[in-house]
Structure 1
Amino acid sequence: MDCFSSFLTQVKFSIKLIIFWLNERKFFEILMIMAEDWNDCASSNINMRETACKAKLADRITNAMFTLHTLTIVAYSIGILLADVDISEQSELPLLLKVELPVNINTKRMYKMLLTMQFVHLIMSGCGTGLLNALLLTLTLHVGGQMDILRCWLSELVPRKNEGSEAVMTNRIIRKHQRIINFSEYIEDLYTYIALVQFTSNTVLICSLGFLIVTAIGSPDATEHIVRSLLFYTVTNLEAFIFCYAGEYIKNKSKAIGNAAYNSAWYEMKPKNSRNLIFVILRAQKQLTLTVGKIMDLSLESFTSIMKASGSYLSVLLAMQ
């Protein structure tokens, strides 16, 4: 089961990289929109402060995720790395990843080199997985910050004596809303099939890792098995939660735009300008979401579904043991 969990993790990461590579153009479009958002914020201290605040929060989360993934790999590998293995007396050498080698490992130096290469591979894979997850959170926080800026504009929208400036502000709000919609759709296109891979694989991983932890209790080497699996189990749950939280965050923020537009002083504006805000209100009724392969929305309810399914499968495995 431990070997299966490691294999599934590597396969999941490889598939996610391929999907990301196939959607490279979408990622470039996202970067262009982000650059435009930062340029627009330069003219307003409030907008710049809001955008910078989200960027700093994303930076802290990214550092925390890299640290957690690194600690997970270290905890998973430390027992084997520090073990004093006698090459001559071992029929099957303990490795971080079970592999079939084309050569015989007959010296301790070759064995240590192989372990080092596997450890570096695991670190890079773990950091790569953390990078993809951190990127999703960064993009989500950025678009959330832009939605907050739009809500601020709507709350400050008051009738102006100069009809031209009122029309300019209304058009600016509509363009901002459309840019937010485009940005969210690009995130959806970039991550929807990654979320599908994440959703299906994490259900199996949470189940298998939970099985390893439960069955290790009471065994002679329980501490070693639990230490190897516990952080791995935590990170797997965290990955699923990140995707589901991102979907819930965008959905709630987009809903707030419609409420802010409705609560603005649109009824005191010129009719031809207030009519433009109706389109914002109508479009905001269709909430922006992230989906799992265009099948279902990502939300905190989806996260509970993953946990329930994993718990059910774990019960079946324990009953079959």
Structure 2
Amino acid sequence: MSTIINVKGLAKSFGSLEAVRGVDFDVEQGSLFAFLGPNGAGKSTTIDMLTTQLKPDAGEATVAGYRLGRDNDGIRSAIGIVFQDSLLDPLLTVEENLLVRGSFYKLSRSELKAAVARAVETAGAGDFLKRPYGKLSGGQRRRADIARALIHTPQVLFLDEPTTGLDPQTRQNVWTTIRRLQKERGMTIFLTTHYMEEAAQADRIVVMDHGKVLAEGTPYELKERYATDMLKLKPHDAEELAAYLQARSASYTVASGIFHIPVAETVRALDIIDGCRSNIAGLEIVSGTMDDVFLHLTGTEVRA
């Protein structure tokens, strides 16, 4: 898989505040890439630079083969952006909004109609094409926003917290659209999200805080490095289980009669279970999550 975004030493300050402090990362073509970090981590500033909305102080980047600062028009032609706050007019219908936005790309009338039709079909926005944008549900608005970003068939789609505030079913519908773009169109998706279960679906993740990249890897790699699995045991005899764990120098906590025993990896739980099998009334093994990774790296729970 080839690299479609390459970032080296990108930096940006606002007065004495170093918002982005020399970050490096790559995004592979056709991948779903998740960019994570708490509020104030520097994510938005980084994205604003990559999408040519903000000039970097230092470093370099290429997006779809175009060099940032030298080929900004090329970058803008190669990307689509779905902002957290919509840019569409609430009084116009979805179709009217898309035609207005599409007119910025200097297409002929027939090319514009064809481009809007493709974008609407891909984003699944056809059912509410004639309705005013301001009358749509949250999920419908998101699909209309995605259609707006797809009119010029971008190679990279930037999604800034695309499902924030949506109910679970609507979030799933939006994700179906996102996955279809990636799989059927080969589009690269650059995602920021506050939902860790969404980040866990990514092909690769970068975690950022205080303007720096803290870690990067696949969800599996990050969970292996920074998350801990948990063995939960309900014993017949609590004192016996406590003595057994202490003899093994195994750390544990007890809550509501349940022993919580951290294990480096799931298979390690089997050794503990085998040694106290007759004393087990119930058990559960909980794998480490992206929430654990985030907390370990940033020291804070993710905030919406």
TM-score range for the pair, normalised by the shorter chain length: under 0.3
Relative to the length of structure 1, the TM-score reads 0.24
Higher-RCO chain (CA-CA 8 Å, sequence separation at least 6): 1
Relative to the length of structure 2, the TM-score reads 0.25
| Structure showing the higher helix proportion among its residues | 1
| Structure showing the higher strand proportion among its residues | 2
Q: Rg bigger for which structure?
A: 1
